[in-house]
Structure 1
Amino acid sequence: MIYHILLAFVVTFIITLVLGKVGIPMLKSLHAQQSIREEGPESHQAKAGTPTMGGAFMMLALTTGVAIFAPWNVATGMLLFLTLGHCLLGFFDDFVKAVKKRNLGLTAKQKLLGQFILAAIFCYFITEIMVLPTTLWIPVIDAHVQLGFAYYILAFLIIVGATNAVNLTDGLDGLASGTSAVAAIAFSVIGLMIYSTENSVAAESVAYFGAIVTAVCLGFLVFNINPAKVFMGDTGSLALGGAFAGMAILTKTELLLVVIGGIFVMEALSVIIQVISFKTRGVRVFKMSPIHHHFELSGWSEQTVVNRFWFGGAVLAVLGVVLATVTL
Structure 2
Amino acid sequence: MNQLITAAAVAAGLVLIAGPFLIPALHKLKFGQSIREEGPKSHQAKSGTPTMGGLMIIPAITVATLVAAPHSAEVLLALFIMLGHFALGFLDDYIKVVKKRNLGLKARQKLLGQTAIAIVTMAIGTKCLGIDTTVWVPVLDTAINIGWGYFALVLFVLVGTSNAVNLTDGLDGLASGAVAIAMSSYAVICVRTGHDGLALFCAATVSACIAFLRFNLHPAKVFMGDTGSLALGGAVAAAGILTHTEVLLAIVGFVFVCEALSVIIQVISFKTTGKRVFRMSPIHHHFELGGWKETKVVLVFWCAGLIASVIALSML
State the TM-score, normalized to the length of structure 1.
0.94
TM alignment of 1:91-130, pairs within 5 A: 91-130=90-129
Matched residues, number: 316
- Using the TM superposition, give the Cα deviation of residue 57 of structure 1 relative to its aligned residue in structure 2, in angstroms: 1.2
Contact 2:10/2:60 (8 A) holds in 1: no
- Output the CA distance in 1 between the equivalents of 2:156 and 2:197: 23
Do structure 1's residue 219 and structure 2's residue 219 form an aligned pair?
no
* Equivalent position SS for 1:144: strand
Contact 1:182 1:314 in 2 (8 A): yes
Pick which of 92-101 and 174-183 moved more. 92-101
Give the distance between the partners of 1:4 and 1:125, measured in 2 at CA.
Answer: 25
Helix, strand or coil for the counterpart of 2:193? helix
Is the Cα–Cα contact under 8 Å of residues 19 and 61 in structure 1 kept in the other structure? no
Equivalent residue for 2:285, pick from 293, 300, 318: 293
Inter-partner Cα distance in structure 1 for 2:107 and 2:280:
20
Q: Which residue of 2 aligns with 1:266?
A: 258
Name 2:131's counterpart in structure 1: 132
Helix, strand or coil: the match of 1:296?
helix
SS in 1 for 2:144: strand
Q: CA–CA distance in 2 between the matches of 1:243 and 1:279?
A: 33
Q: Which 5+ residue runs of structure 2 have no aligned equivalent?
A: none
Q: 2: distance between equivalents of 1:191 and 1:176?
A: 22
Residue 109 of structure 2 aligns to which amino acid in structure 1? Q
Q: Does structure 1 residue 77 correspond to structure 2 residue 76?
A: yes
Question: What does the per-residue CA deviation read over 1:219-277, in whole Å, with 9 as the maximum and x for residues that have no partner?
Answer: 11110000000000000000011111111111111111100100000000000000000
Cross-structure match for 2:273: 281
1:21-41 CA distances to partner (integer Å, 9 max, x unpaired)? 221112112211101011000
Q: For residues 76 and 21 of structure 1, what CA distance do their matches in structure 2 show?
A: 30
Consecutive unaligned residues in structure 1, runs of 5 or more: 196-202
After TM superposition, the structure 1 = structure 2 runs for residues 1-328 of structure 1, keeping only pairs within 5 Å, are 2-195=1-194, 203-324=195-316
- Deviation for aligned residue 1:103: 2.2
Tell me the distance in 2 between the aligned counterparts of 1:143 and 1:153. 20
Range with greater deviation from structure 2 (104-113 or 177-186): 104-113
1:199 alignment partner in structure 2: none
Shift of 1:205: 2.3
Equivalent-residue separation in structure 2 for 1:8 and 1:153 (angstroms) = 32
Q: Sequence identity of aligned pairs in percent?
A: 52
Distance in 1, matches of 2:203 and 2:311, equals 18
Counterpart AA for 2:175: A
AA of the residue aligned to 1:177: S
- How far did 1:128 drift? 2.0
Distance 2:2 2:311 in 1: 24
Structure 1 vs Structure 2 CA RMSD: 0.9
Deviation at 1:190, TM superposition (A): 0.3
Greater alpha carbon shift after TM alignment, 295-304 vs 2-11: 2-11
Q: Is the 8 A contact 2:55 2:228 kept in 1?
A: yes
Decide whether the 8 Å contact of 1:78 with 1:122 is kept in 2: yes
TM-score by length of 2: 0.98
